[in-house]
Structures are given as structure tokens and as C-alpha cells.
């Protein structure tokens, strides 16, 4: 199954790292999933999901069509933009 998430917001949380907000378009994402960040069809970076949260709710996986936030390992706020696409991949 393919996984697709479109970034709408990017935040830096002191002591935690970079959080991207958006909506899952396809598939299910889980903590520990390796992902690729794409911009205009070009891979801009690779990382791992270290946290998944919804407002007042935390889970190990979230299904499609939910607005969520991903905490990403080793990514700075400047490395990702609104409109970027997150896909499964290693």
C-alpha cells in the first residue's frame, strides 16, 4: 500500500524537533516508518517518523483523511516547506 502525506504547516518545538502538519491522503503511517520528503518530484531528504499526534490525541498509527502532525528525526524547520510531500521509503 502506498503512503502519501501533504505538508501544510511546519513547526519547530523546542526540545522535540521539527513537526509537520497536514493530512494523510493515502495509506497508514506508523512511528518508526522511514519516509522520503519530495519537492517538485525530487527527493529532498530522508528521515524517520518519531511521533504522530492529533490535537489532544496520540497514537502509534493514524489512518488516512485525518489532520495530524509528524515529529521527524533530524529534520530542521528550514529543510521542509508547506506543499512538500511525504512518502514511504528508505
CATH topology for 4-88 is Elongation Factor Tu (Ef-tu); domain 3 (2.40.30)
pLDDT at 10: 94
pTM of the predicted model as reported, rounded to 2 decimal places: 0.82
| pLDDT, tens digit (0-9, with 9 covering 90-100), for 26-56 | 888 889 999 999 999 899 999 999 998 876 6
Contacts of 18 (CB under 8 A, 6+ apart): 10, 11, 12, 71, 72, 75, 76, 77, 79, 80
% of residues, the chain, pLDDT over 70: 84
Amino acid at each position: 500500500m502506498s503512503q502519501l502525506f501533504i505538508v501544510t504547516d511546519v513547526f519547530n518545538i523546542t526540545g522535540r524537533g521539527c513537526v509537520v502538519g497536514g493530512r494523510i491522503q493515502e495509506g497508514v503511517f506508523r512511528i518508526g516508518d522511514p519516509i522520503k520528503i519530495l519537492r517538485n518530484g525530487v527527493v529532498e531528504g530522508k528521515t524517520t517518523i518519531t511521533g504522530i499526534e492529533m490535537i489532544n490525541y496520540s497514537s502509534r498509527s493514524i489512518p488516512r483523511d485525518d489532520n495530524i502532525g509528524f515529529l521527524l528525526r533530524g529534520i530542521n524547520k528550514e529543510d521542509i516547506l508547506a506543499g512538500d510531500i511525504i512518502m514511504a521509503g528508505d
